[in-house]
Structure 1
Amino acid sequence: MKQPATFWGGLGALALLALGGTASAQAIAAPETGGNGIKVGSGRLHPYFDLETRLDSGVGYFTPAGIPEPDSTPVSAKLSSDVALRFRPGFRLDIPSPKLAFNLNANLDYVMYTGLVTKNSSAASRMEGAADLIARINPDAPLSLEVSDQFARSDRTRTAAVGVGVLSLFNEARARALWRPGGGAVELVPSVAYAVEFFQPLSSVSPIGCAESVCDPTAVERFDYGNLRVGAEGRWRFLPKTAVVLDTHLDVRSYFNDSTPSASLLRALVGVAGLVSPKVAVTGKAGWGQNFGSTGGGTFLGQLEGTYLYSPTLSFKAGYLRMLEPVAAYGFFTDNRAYGEARALFGGKLTARVGLALDFLSFDGGRSDTVVGANIGPEYQFTPWLTGAAGYMLGLRSSSVDGGGLNYTRHEGYARLSVTY
């Protein structure tokens, strides 16, 4: 039986953990792409289409040659490679307004494995998609409200514990208010969000050597969950370019089909963010995370991040983050993350980016993982409606739990053309 695993679940979850600073050096961004679009009220609708080809060394684990299918024999311990084509039609709707600003970006993404390298990989072909909606009420007023929703159907699950190939259906609805009393020196941002994630197995067999439940694709649906997050952020600019910041969040996680202990994680961090010089921005936070669930447990939390604006077209960012998050099968885990990024803009059309991340994950119960991620590549705007991009992505994971599903190296090289009206 074929198992089209992709095994970037941990990286997808970890990318959501980083907390942004309240002050930073000037950001570097490429020009907006797209033609005139279609007029919708005071805004514009921009249809687009992405065509991407990707050489992927981690398409999945497949039954060894010579074994008839279907068969209950464990699949190969080595990841298989193949060439994939991705067809991604979508649209972007932007409606600016001082009373109700509206932004929507949605797409369908058909992933087609060609079988050029691995004969039977076409079974891994699937439909994915994503949508992001943000509506801002009175965005420029001292008191504003933001309502948003994020939807994704993808193999990049947000559950860091899962190592098998799974298809994730994720949706999170959010609401937050931004209150700036007294001219904006003080900002208070209460928020609430509710997320659900459902998993679908992409195989009925496990990789060789994996005996843990997180490696069994037939049981992955047990990790379906709902997560309620209530938070409050505060910011006081006691100097023109420096602020005291406060971040507090409470996550209440429950699982629909599993005996994983429910987690109630409270995290609070306080610190300072500001410009050390016109070119250097620093954010420093420290705090504590506590699990009020049945298993208990708490730990020190913190973040230190610096951004250096070498020039208006070249910037560097590096930092360290320690965070506590709920997770299936174990209840919660601690992530120690070191990360860095460099961005450059050449001639107003060519954007280059290098991103690196190293995560040390410690799960409640003793399991520990190491995750390495890299993303390198340029993007070039040929015309206002045509953009090209190419790059390389590395995903490497090793775990104290044996099994191919949790220990792998994945290389991806891609080239993409985007047409936007």
Structure 2
Amino acid sequence: MTQPANRWRALCLLAMAASWPAFGQSVDSGPRNGNGLKVGEGRLHFTFEFETRYDSAVGYFPPPGTTDPTLVSDQLSGEALMHIRPGLKLELPGSTLSLDLKGHADYVHYTGLITPGSTATSHLEGMADLNVAFNKQAPIGAELADHFQRSDQTRSAAIGAGVLSLFNEVRLSVPLRPGGGAFEVTPQFAWAVEHFKASGALPPVGCGGPECDPSLVDRFDYGNVRAGLQARWRFLPKTAVVADAQFDWRSYAHGDTPDALLLHGKAGLAGLVTPKIALTATVGWGQDFGAASAGAILAQLEASYLVSATATLKLGYARSLEPVAAFGLFRDDRGYLEAQALLGGRLTLRGATSFDLLSFQGVRHDTLYKLDVGPQYQFQRWMVLGAGYLLGVRSSSEPGTGINYSRHEGYVRVTVTY
């Protein structure tokens, strides 16, 4: 596809997006009883999001002059993208039965303005969340939830950039609240699957392992069955003892990675230290009873500070132990800082940063730094304009561009909700 054709397509999509605020204004001119369509006691909302984004390391594309879309460069390249996200949100509140459904389709268009030939990798992503709750205030309740997502943000810590993930998890929880709710215990059961697909056909320079070879990325496909138990006892009005234990059986559809049988549990305190400071402190242990046969201390320490009625600050550290293909297990030591403020009832300023030290079973060690900052302004209750900058820096003891990179992203997004 030629450069003029790409520019013409970009202008057409921009014009289409520009027409949506006018549509939102016309449908909002009716009675002031809230937007959306009334469904029983709830409402059905239609949403549309248009986003322009620059990503400096978005994927692997055909080299200049190549007509074969299966032949791609082995270096990460930058590109200007457009995300077109039509969606919906359904809210049906109720004390006996409540339902929340939200989701969107996301067409990711690679414009070819920076890297010619990238348009062939344009693709469809999406997300859907369903939550059905029964008897939310009763001594015995039930919650059924499902989360579906197709994205280039995978859940596998071992895989780098240039990979698409298809993930789905269904979860059943049964909250038990004897004695008025001061004590609550929740058995849980979940089943998840994730499949991976590489966006390129060549492995990155200097890396031939399964974590960056497109022909081997399906070795990370997995199914995960989780059984867990969460408990909370409020021994003070705003302070509780918390405990969480869960067992994961992780199996892999391809390759020779043995199944993981991982048991981990934590316990500690959560609540208000002062009217403005909330603290969570838990500690525990994780142990694999499979072939990896390794264990580690688990912990979380998090403090939240209410700077004002509209501004919050959160600081924390967490250590986790998780299964992963090709390596067996990895430990994640993560520090994070988040801040958010609402100014004038319309302008939201937010910022988040984190640093992860990933220690894989064996000799591989990765570091991952993330920064996410940006404003968001609500012009009308049906239209929000947001912008942001994201920085991701990853380095590994193993070679390869897919797991050693600096990624800069900037975006502008308009969201319309009816």
Deviation at 1:68, TM superposition (A): 7.2
Match of 1:385 among 382, 389, 392: 382
Distance in 2, matches of 1:361 and 1:251, equals 20
Aligned residue type for 1:150: H
Contact 1:164 1:216 in 2 (8 A): no
Give the structure 2 partner of residue 194 of structure 1.
191
For residue 85 of structure 1, the aligned residue among 82, 85, 96 is 82
Contact 1:165/1:203 (<8 A) preserved: yes
Cα contact 2:74–2:202 (8 A) shared by 1: no
Q: Does residue 225 of the first structure (1) align with residue 244 of the second (2)?
A: no
> Match of 1:102?
99
Matched, 1:397 2:394: yes
Q: Deviations over 1:348-402 (max 9, x none)?
A: 1111110011000001112110001111011111111111100011111101110
**4+ runs of 1 displaced by more than 4 Å?**
63-72
Q: Which one has the largest radius of gyration?
A: 2
What is the Cα deviation at residue 75 of structure 1?
Answer: 3.0
Aligned: 1:251 with 2:248: yes
How many angstroms does 1:67 deviate by?
A: 6.8
**Percent of pairs with identical residues:** 53
In structure 2, C-alpha distance between the alignment counterparts of 1:221 and 1:129, rounded to whole Å: 20
Secondary structure of the 2:168 match is: strand
1:204-243 mapped onto 2 (5 Å cutoff): 204-243=201-240
**Equivalent of residue 150 in structure 1, options 147, 150, 170:** 147
Give the gaps of 5 or more residues in structure 1. 1-33
**Residue 308 of structure 1 is aligned with which of 292, 301, 305?**
305
Paired position in structure 2 for 1:26? none
Instruction: State the match for 1:24 in structure 2.
Output: none
CA separation in 2, counterparts of 1:317 and 1:211?
40
Q: Compared with structure 1, are the counterparts of its residues 240 and 96 closer, same or farther at alpha carbon in structure 2 (3 Å cutoff)?
A: same
1:37 matched to 2:36: yes
Determine helix, strand or coil for the equivalent of 1:205.
coil
Distance 2:180 2:167 in 1: 38
Match of 2:14 in 1: none
Query: Secondary structure in 1 aligned to 2:35?
Result: coil
Q: 1:207 to 1:68 in 2, by over 3 A?
A: farther
Aligned mate of 1:161, from 144, 158, 161 = 158
Per-residue CA distance 1:56-110 (angstroms, 9 max, x = gap): 11122345556774687x8344x32111111000000000011110000011000
Whose RCO is larger (CA < 8 A, sep 6+)? 1
List alignment gaps of at least 5 residues for structure 2.
1-32
Deviations 1:96-134 (A, max 9, x none): 011110000011000001111111111221001110000
Distance in 1 (CA, whole Å) between partners of 2:221 and 2:112 is 32
1-structure distance, mates of 2:328, 2:187: 26
Q: CA deviation at 1:35?
A: 4.7
Offset of residue 201 of structure 1: 2.3
The answer to whether the 8 Å contact 1:59/1:121 transfers is no
What is the distance in 2 between the residues matched to 1:71 and 1:392?
Answer: 31
Aligned with residue 75 of structure 1, among 69, 73, 76: 73
Letter in 2 for 1:177: V
Give the Cα separation in 1 of the matches to 2:283 and 2:249: 22
Question: In the alignment, does 2:291 pair up with 1:294?
Answer: yes
User: Within 1, Cα distance between the matches of 2:69 and 2:313?
Assistant: 51
Report the Cα distance in structure 2 between the residues aligned to 1:253 and 1:358, rounded to whole angstroms: 26
2:52 is matched with which residue? 53
Give TM-score, length-normalised by structure 2: 0.89
Q: CA deviation at 1:299?
A: 0.7
SS where residue 73 of structure 2 aligns? coil
The alignment status of 1:173 with 2:170, answered yes or no, reads yes
